[in-house]
Structure formats: C-alpha cells, structure tokens
A = this chain, B = another copy of it.
Amino acid sequence: MKLYDYKNAPNPRRVRMFLAEKNITEVEMINIDLAKGETYRQEFKDINPYGGVPVLELDDGDYIAESMAICRYFEEVSPENPLMGTDAKSKAVIEMWNRRIELNLYNPIAHCFRHGNPMWKATVKQVADFAEVSGDEADKNIHKLDKRLAVSEFVGGDTFSVADITALCAIDFAKVIQRRIDEEKHPHLARWYKQVSARLSAKA
C-alpha cells in the first residue's frame, strides 16, 4: 500500500496520526508537493479527480481518497486500538463529534485560510469578506470546544479517538489564520491540547 502524502497539510496528518496510533507501519509514503502544485497535474488527477491529498493506493491498484475514508479502511483491516468506537453508540458519538469539529472548526479555518491568504490567489476565487466571517466562526467554535472539554476528557468521550485527531490537526492548522489557544480563556482546551500533543502520534 502507498499513501500519497504531504507533510505540511492538515488532512494527510490526520491519516498519519491514525496510522501511528494503530502502529501500522507497512505503508509506503509518497510525497506530493502541494507547494509546487503537484495535485493539479493530470498524473495526479487520474489518481484523485477531486484533487487533494491524502490518497491511499491499495495493493490491487485502486485508490481511496478522503482522510476519513482512508481511516475507516484501516479501522476495518486493523481493528486493534480502535479509534472510531467499539459499539453502535460509541461509534455514533465519535462520528458526531468528529463531524462537529470538521464542520464547525476545521472547515471555517480552511475557508479563512483559502479566502484570506495571498498564497491561494492563483487557485481560489477569493472572497475576503467570507474569510472574515469564517475566522469569526472558528473563534466561536474554539470556545465551544473548550466547553466540551470542560465535561469530557477527550473530544469523543472517555477515550482518545479520531475526533481528537481531527481536533488537534484543526487547532494546529489554525496557526495559519493566527489563532492560538488562550490558556486564560480556554483552560480546558489548553489541558486537552497539552495532553494529546504529548502523544507520540502527534509527531507523525
């Protein structure tokens, strides 16, 4: 198996963390240089017509795109160290939190970055006002995540899960829009951030 990867992007990091948490090492990493526009080449579009990394190439030559679909594949073939729940309810609760973080935090950060940063000018029809609205949305949801972590050790419940991976990658990604955790304002988020950042997988 091969994983089309890029070190400096948050989505591939989600999959690398997932693999590290599950101690899966038999995946060959292939670097796709986003900064050089390599995902826009026809060669890569044949692999993923919707663009973007990560993409998993299976041993039969088929491709799986979308971070969570790739994680789902590994959760199924390597069920040890489950990261997506163990029964109907925990699977649903973790998926709920993973999606809440994606929709309300990860996506607004990505929108703010893509619509507000000059590096995207050539590839995105930028709308500056939408970058601002998205930044406000991110701020509101950093606050909401702090409230969640006041009553739960991890994002998806009592155990570390893929929802923590998505949230950690989102919070670290927020650097590109100049948002960091304010320990005074967000003590629970700060506690969780310290805890999950110390995991070996956070360096993957």
**Protomer copies:** 2
Contact of A66 among B64, B65, B99, B107 (CB under 8 A): B99
In the bound assembly, the distance between CA atoms of A64 and B92 in angstroms comes to: 7
In the bound assembly, the distance between CA atoms of A64 and B136 in angstroms comes to: 26
What is the number of residues of chain A that contact chain B, defined by CB distance less than 8 Å? Answer: 36
Residues on B with C-beta less than 8 A from A144 are: 49-50
In the complex, which residue of chain B has the Cβ closest to the Cβ of A84?
Answer: B72
In the complex, which residue of chain B has the Cβ closest to the Cβ of A137?
Answer: B125
Interface of A is mostly: helix
Residues on B with C-beta less than 8 A from A88 are: 72-73, 76-77
Q: A49-B147, A127-B129 are in contact. List 4 more A-B contacts (CB 8 A).
A: A66-B100, A68-B99, A73-B88, A129-B129
Task: Please report A residues at the B interface, Cβ cutoff 8 Å.
Answer: 49-50, 56, 58, 62, 64-66, 68-70, 72-73, 76-77, 87-89, 91-93, 95-96, 99-100, 104, 107, 115, 125, 127, 129-130, 133, 136, 144, 147
